[in-house]
Amino acid sequence: MIYGIDAVHGHNNVATGIPYVFAPCIAVCRDPRWGRCYESYSEDHKIVQLMTEIIPGLQGDPPANSKKGVPFGLDRITSPPHANYSYSVEAGVGAGIDMIMVPYNFTEFIDDLTYQVKHNIIPMSRIDDAVKRILRVKFVMGLFENPMADNTLVNQLRSQAHRELAREAPLLPLPKKATKILVAGTHADNLGYQCGGWTIAWQGLSGNDLTTGTTILQAVKNMVDPSTQVVYSQNPDAEFVKSGKLSHAIVVVGEPSYAETNGDSLNLTISQPGPDTIYNVCGAVKCVVVLISGRPVVMQPYLSSIDALVAAWLPGTEGQGVADVLFGDYGFTGKLARTWFKTVDHSL
């Protein structure tokens, strides 16, 4: 998705005659007091690493660049009274940065760089190398032969393909007002599964006779606008879904109830017909899968089919809480407490 979005951005920039972008900001912001923190994608370096897919997405034609690079965020380089501007110039150019963006004090930069070159602090060979690399990129891009905007890409601006990509935005929160919503899955209308084991019965029970409460299906019905039709089918086939003229679907699947060694699992899979329900529904309409389980289970085989995945764990009798976050009355907060493995082998 990130690659696709930024491929569109790259095409749009070239079409408007600007063959470069000041992006992405692959920074790890761990101090929200920083005024540019929102330009970073996460405080988690692994998430930031994933966002580097922006670069090959953009760089179909526009070259990526290091506009500010590592020095950004280091007090001794960027922030008075610890700034050492001459050292910043020497370190940046010496590290191999070919073009320096200097928005305000550009004359100071020119004077400082010139002084360092004349006094052999920065060798002239480094300047020659930078110029050669800049010109090489421009020659490869054909900017000397065709310096004007590439009109062949104009028709791609606001194209149907770009609009369809934009509609692949996150599904959650779900709109309360829709034409028709499908709720499917063995766990959608089952208080026993919501509660799991170690409840009134040791191993737990399936069904709605165990106790009183609100199933997720009933919570969805309570949540949506009165004009929205909610259709329930535990395990519909693909044709039923395709012909239903549905706005979207909620699939609620997961594990059976269990306790102690009865819950031992060699494969960490969701119970049947959960996988079939996911494929049948999510293959035909935009869907969110709500997972009812007491532990992480393997979901990797289904991720390419679904639009959103919610780990509801064992929510207990009050399915309304699940509906609250699905429809945006409350936001998802916190982090998952356990690692979710791609395969059962990864858990060994």
pLDDT at residue 233, as a whole number: 96
* Ordered domains of the chain (ranges, CATH): 2-166 (3.20.20.300), 180-347 (3.40.50.1700)
Question: If pLDDT is split at 50, 70 and 90, which confidence band does 72 have?
Answer: very low
Of 202 and 184, which is predicted with more confidence?
184
Report, as an integer, the average pLDDT of 223-239: 96
**Sheet holding 248-254: strands in order across?**
229-233, 180-184, 248-254, 287-292, 308-313
Cα–Cα nearest to 7, from 49, 43, 61? 61
**CA atoms of 174 and 326, how far apart (whole Å):** 6
Report, as an integer, the average pLDDT of 100-125: 90
Cα–Cα nearest to 114, from 127, 129, 96, 131? 127
pLDDT at residue 34, as a whole number: 64
pLDDT at residue 78, as a whole number: 47
- Ramachandran class of 196: left when φ > 0, alpha when ψ lies in -120 to 50, beta otherwise: left
Question: If pLDDT is split at 50, 70 and 90, which confidence band does 337 have?
Answer: low
CB 86 within 8 A of CB 56: no
193 phi/psi in degrees, rounded to 5: -65, -35
Residues in the chain: 348
**CA atoms of 89 and 107, how far apart (whole Å):** 13
Of 278 and 21, which is predicted with more confidence?
278
Of 24 and 194, which is predicted with more confidence?
194
Cα–Cα nearest to 320, from 216, 207, 188, 209? 216
Indicate if the alpha-carbon torsion angle 315, 319, 320, 326 is positive or negative. Answer: positive
Q: What is the pTM of this model?
A: 0.60
**In the structure encoding, which two tokens stand for residue 80, read together?**
């008075």
**In the structure encoding, which two tokens stand for residue 310, read together?**
């919610």
**CA atoms of 101 and 20, how far apart (whole Å):** 13
**CA atoms of 14 and 227, how far apart (whole Å):** 46
Mean pLDDT of the chain: 84
- HEC secondary structure over 165-181: HHCCCCCCCCCCCCCEE
**CA atoms of 110 and 88, how far apart (whole Å):** 13
End-to-end CA distance of the chain: 31
Of 148 and 206, which is predicted with more confidence?
206
Greatest Cα pair distance, the chain, in angstroms, is 87
Interval 30-69: pLDDT, tens: 765 666 666 777 778 888 888 877 778 777 655 555 544 4
Question: If pLDDT is split at 50, 70 and 90, which confidence band does 214 have?
Answer: very high
Report, as an integer, the average pLDDT of 314-319: 93
pLDDT over 50 at 71, yes or no? no
